[in-house]
Amino acid sequence: MAKKTTRKGQSKAKTKKSAKRAAKSQATKKAPTKKATAGAAARGPKKFVYFFGNGKADGNRTMKDVLGGKGSGLAEMTNAGFPVPPGFTISTAACTLYYEHGRKLPPQIDKEIEQNLHKLEKVAGATLGSADAPLLVSVRSGAKFSMPGMMDTILNLGLNDATVESLKNRTGNGRFAFDSYRRFMQMYGNVVLEIPKEEFEKEFDAVKRARGAKTDTDLDEAALREVVGRYKRVITARTRREFPQDPFEQLRGARDAVFRSWNNERAIKYRRLYDIPDDIGTAVNVQMMVFGNMGDRSATGVGFTRNPATGAREFFGEFLTNAQGEDVVAGIRTPRPITELERVMPKAYRELRDITSRLERHYKDVQDFEFTIQDEKLYMLQTRSGKRTGYAAVVIATDLVEEGLLKPKEAVLLVEPISLSQLLAPMFDPNEWKKVAVATKGLPASPGAASGQVVFTSETAIEWKNQGLKVLLVRKETVPDDIHGMEVAQGVLTATGGMTSHAAVVGRQMGRPSIVGAGQLQIDEKNKCFTVSGQTVREGDYVSFDGLTGEVKIGKVATTPSEILQVVTGKMRPEQSDIYRRFNQLLTWADEVRTLGIRANADQPDQSELAYAFGARGIGLCRTEHMFFGAGRIEKMQRMILADNEKDRRAALNELLPLQRGDFHGVLKAMHGCPVTIRTIDPPLHEFVPKREDLMVEIARLEATGGDANLLEERRRLLHRVEQLHEFNPMLGHRGVRLGITYPEITEMQARAIFEAACQLNREGLAVMPEVMIPLVGLVEELKDQKEIVVRVAEDVMKEQGVQIKYLVGTMIEVPRGALTADQVATEAEFFSFGTNDLTQMTFGFSRDDSGKFLRIYQDRKILDFDPFASIDTVGVGQLVEMGCKRGRATKPDLKLGVCGEHGGDPASIHFFHKVGLNYVSCSPYRVPVARLAAAQAALSVKVGD
Ligand code: PEP
Ligand code: MG
């Protein structure tokens, strides 16, 4: 796949995907090709090592790309005058070069490291390898995106048989000196020399056992000397070399090992999981050691300036006395709550509170920090923006404004739009959720917690729901017919399908938690069971899943409904919910800055009302075909399809007319005069009739049992029609505008239903703004044909009813030819709405419903690094959108432009749509808050130009 478009307009709060793609374009800018980068290094003047110390740093907070998160934080804290041990950062570009030079650093960088090491020795008043005043350093990884615990770290580097004695003499603490030495050997042995940890642990435990020591700290100097001796023997036995005594060799070894750890299995897995690009590399931070293990007046810890789960304004974290950093995270000893530090070391605690609150004010965001206290003196080792839940993000952003730290515009940039979905979904009790093992994972199509009894058909779902049961619909795939089953289910789980498969689209639209493409599910619909991870789940058994992560578990887990949804649906008063107040406040600020309009994709009055309550000001896509599936409707639809002449077809359509009119009345009314885009019928007709195989089985059964002759005859006719409707490639077949052209009476009926509903509302004194949209247009003549029908019917109806209403007739741009000839199409269209689902399908030639099978592999193999059905392919499909906009507006400068494909609710895509000048985006009702926020961020970042 070609190079990614740079997303210049990204805001601070990025979705994982957009972050990945933005970072990737950054990375490709910095190190575009092997040759180019090597050439850049050879040219020389580029800086690869950045010093920090004595209140001054070469880098700063804006240099995360170069210095990584940790390096840029250390530089920034140094510049701000905070107590940071001095050191230097080897840049991420050096990591890229390391790999490009066959896992070796060019000599020029070695030289730069040496110069900076001398500088560090001067500032520290200590020299690496000196027996009098040995400098000891830590060597830590630090990529642009935090990857906690995934890469390697080495502490106490510089210790050898001579310097350890010097450390003992200088500190008067032999236990500490040898504890530091054994830790260093253990880390070095494991990380650099790649000896399994257990080999060291075995020796350590043996000494502990022999001396009857309960904890690590019970070991005295003599014991630790013995540990060091044993470690040396492990290393010699394993590597056939002595443990390196030369600190420069140690430093080179550690540095390279950190670079190597960028590509360890853990790190790669983590990057896959969190969409972090592989080619941005890690920086290496070499920093003077400070010791939290110097005794009881020393400590080490980590914390957050606010609670990252709830956003509460509380100092949050843990610490350990007489310990080094890894002891806190490794769980060897149980750390103590940070508030206890106040009692243990009040002065250091007060200083830590003071510094971290200053850091929070400085960065204007919650900080996640690491510190060490050496003999009661506090040192800061890291600060970065703290990761938080969606809930906490909203609480923190609104609090920071209330506290005067942020302006509303800045707060809008602080919340990742997609994280708002978490606030709308029912939640699992986190403690209960943890207790059950993951059975499998699928694509997280629609967020939320779902727990219920498994059913395999929509009919059973409805039946069981009517009996008061909570059901979870499990299907190989879903078809439009399942809409009612989906409506009553707690969640929908399918074995096939991608992010825009039917289950995913409808699931999101309904706000129904959904997981699709869970390929490990072996579903046996006939025997009503499925197997996964060696377990068999039968109809009625409980399954639970989290639509946000894609995790599926077998068993029942309790959920609680979202408070915000309760307020929006009128079940709770706004003033009863603090989180609703904040959510609403944040989105009001977002509305003040965004220029994109937000509409919803909805085809039922209740969905439209909900969308309006969530802040949608218009419907961007009302899929009329969904209205044909309700009880008492599908039969009429089938009668229309079965008709073999226009007269019978019209008779059936006449029965559908009042039903459609009723629906349109509801949807138009729910939008309070905002525009409502109603699309004429789109799917191939076979979707409205039973499956050929099912009919054949039914007919065979009726024949064998001598069943009702009339029914048999009717089923045979239906089968005949189903066979006629069969298409080899229905997605490219008789659908969209092609249906309206071959059966103009369908378009007529739909137009009549729309305008009769609109006129009726007008007479009721309510404002309406219908927009009739023709799908799948690739030729202007197609649109012209259908527009004539719509306009004729509209005029007729308005005349009949003595009412005049404003309306528009436009088209979807979802066939590449439509985009290419947008200048012609615009001569007939009064608006365009980009149908990016079909446009993606047809531009890539990837089937929307089948691509799930191979897109995963594409992503794993880096052939494509995102799902183009979830996030717009700016380079290819986006080019067509941009071209469509330009060419359309060249014909009609005020042409209204929108998007109604699934991308309309994707934050990264919204940035793109803002940039190309669309008037609005349209998405499922539950995505409306996400889109409001993303649109505001797009407007802000484009203005700010970050
Ligand atoms: C589209 O193709 O983007 C679209 C919105 O239409 P549908 O998903 O109904 O094909
Ligand atoms: Mg479409």
pLDDT at 33: 31
Ligand lying closest to the C-alpha of residue 601: 1
Strands 514-516 and 443-446: antiparallel
Mutate to test the pocket of ligand 1, among 500, 599, 623 (most ligand atoms within 8 A of CB): 623
CA 531 to chain centre: 29
HEC profile of 360-411: HHHHCCCEEEEEEEECCEEEEEEEEECCCCHHHHHHHHHHHHHCCCCCHHHH
How far apart are alpha carbons 395 and 390 in whole angstroms? 9
Is residue 876 scored above 50 in pLDDT? yes
Tokens representing 242? 């002595």
| pLDDT tens string 97-119 | 999 999 999 999 999 999 999 99
For ligand 1, atom 10, the nearest C-alpha belongs to: 838
For ligand 1, atom 5, the nearest C-alpha belongs to: 901
As separate numbers, helices (DSSP H) first and strands (DSSP E) second, the chain gives: 38, 32
Mean pLDDT comparison of 144-148, 295-299, 532-536, 910-914, highest-scoring range: 910-914
| pLDDT tens string 774-819 | 999 999 999 999 999 999 999 999 999 999 999 999 999 999 999 9
By annotation, the residues acting in catalysis are 502, 900
Mutate to test the pocket of ligand 1, among 900, 909, 918, 927 (most ligand atoms within 8 A of CB): 900
* Cα 806 to ligand 1 centroid, rounded to whole Å: 25
Decide: 814 in ligand 1 pocket, CB within 6 A: yes
- Rg over CA atoms, the chain: 32
Decide: 681 in ligand 1 pocket, CB within 6 A: no
Decide: 901 in ligand 1 pocket, CB within 6 A: yes
Is residue 41 scored above 70 in pLDDT? no
* pLDDT grade for 502, boundaries at 50, 70 and 90: low
Amino acid present at 912? F
Helix/strand/coil for 811 = strand
Contacts of 677 (CB under 8 A, 6+ apart): 599, 618, 619, 620, 621, 622, 771, 772, 773, 810, 831, 833, 898, 900, 922
* pLDDT grade for 330, boundaries at 50, 70 and 90: low
Average pLDDT over residues 56-71: 95
* pLDDT grade for 44, boundaries at 50, 70 and 90: very low
Give, in order, the Cα–Cα distances in Å from 144 to each of 58, 243, 419, 744, 871.
17, 33, 21, 58, 23
* 231 membership: H or E segment, kind and range: helix 221-239
Is residue 942 scored above 70 in pLDDT? no
* Cα 681 to ligand 1 centroid, rounded to whole Å: 12
Give, in order, the Cα–Cα distances in Å from 48 to each of 28, 151, 182, 266, 277.
17, 20, 32, 26, 21
* Cα 837 to ligand 2 centroid, rounded to whole Å: 6
| pLDDT tens string 134-177 | 999 999 999 998 776 678 889 999 999 999 999 999 889 999 99
What are the start-end ranges of the H helices in 673-727?
A: 692-705, 709-725
Decide: 351 in ligand 1 pocket, CB within 6 A: no
CA quadruple 296, 301, 307, 309: dihedral sign:
negative
* Cα 628 to ligand 2 centroid, rounded to whole Å: 17
| pLDDT tens string 537-564 | 999 999 999 988 899 999 999 887 788 9
Is residue 14 scored above 70 in pLDDT? no
134 secondary structure, DSSP code = B
* Cα 747 to ligand 1 centroid, rounded to whole Å: 18
Mean pLDDT comparison of 56-70, 260-274, 842-856, highest-scoring range: 56-70
Place of tokens 């690491």: 370
Decide: 900 in ligand 1 pocket, CB within 6 A: yes
Decide: 877 in ligand 1 pocket, CB within 6 A: no
pLDDT at 16: 42
Average pLDDT over residues 925-943: 91
* pLDDT grade for 702, boundaries at 50, 70 and 90: very high
Is residue 321 scored above 80 in pLDDT? yes
Is residue 5 scored above 50 in pLDDT? no
For ligand 1, atom 8, the nearest C-alpha belongs to: 837
Calculate the average pLDDT of the chain: 89
pLDDT at 318: 84
* Cα 855 to ligand 1 centroid, rounded to whole Å: 19
Ligand lying closest to the C-alpha of residue 899: 1
Q: What percent of the chain stands above pLDDT 70?
A: 92
* Cα 688 to ligand 2 centroid, rounded to whole Å: 17
Is residue 6 scored above 80 in pLDDT? no
* pLDDT grade for 853, boundaries at 50, 70 and 90: confident
Decide: 785 in ligand 1 pocket, CB within 6 A: no
* 748 membership: H or E segment, kind and range: helix 744-763
Amino acid present at 32? P
**How would you list the strands of the sheet with 336-337, edge to edge?**
336-337, 316-321, 299-304, 367-374, 377-385
Nearest Cα residue to 485 out of 524, 505, 459, 515: 459
Mutate to test the pocket of ligand 1, among 682, 776, 777 (most ligand atoms within 8 A of CB): 682
Angle at CA 407, nearest 5°, toward 404 and 411?
105
Decide: 840 in ligand 1 pocket, CB within 6 A: no
Tokens representing 492? 């929908």
| pLDDT tens string 622-631 | 999 888 887 7
Helix/strand/coil for 470 = coil
More confident residue, 40 or 616: 616
Average pLDDT over residues 930-937: 98
Ligand 1 atom closest to residue 836's alpha carbon, by position in its atom list:
3
How far apart are alpha carbons 182 and 398 in whole angstroms? 48
Is residue 26 scored above 80 in pLDDT? no
For ligand 1, atom 6, the nearest C-alpha belongs to: 835
CA quadruple 63, 98, 140, 28: dihedral sign:
positive
How far apart are alpha carbons 508 and 477 in whole angstroms? 16
Is residue 283 scored above 60 in pLDDT? yes
Is residue 830 scored above 60 in pLDDT? yes
Contacts of 414 (CB under 8 A, 6+ apart): 12, 13, 365, 393, 396, 397, 400, 406
More confident residue, 44 or 10: 44
Give, in order, the Cα–Cα distances in Å from 796 to each of 132, 656, 759.
100, 19, 12
* Cα 733 to ligand 2 centroid, rounded to whole Å: 13
pLDDT at 480: 60
Decide: 837 in ligand 1 pocket, CB within 6 A: yes
* pLDDT grade for 328, boundaries at 50, 70 and 90: low
pLDDT at 865: 81
Nearest Cα residue to 347 out of 319, 375, 370: 375
Is residue 659 scored above 50 in pLDDT? yes
Decide: 623 in ligand 1 pocket, CB within 6 A: yes
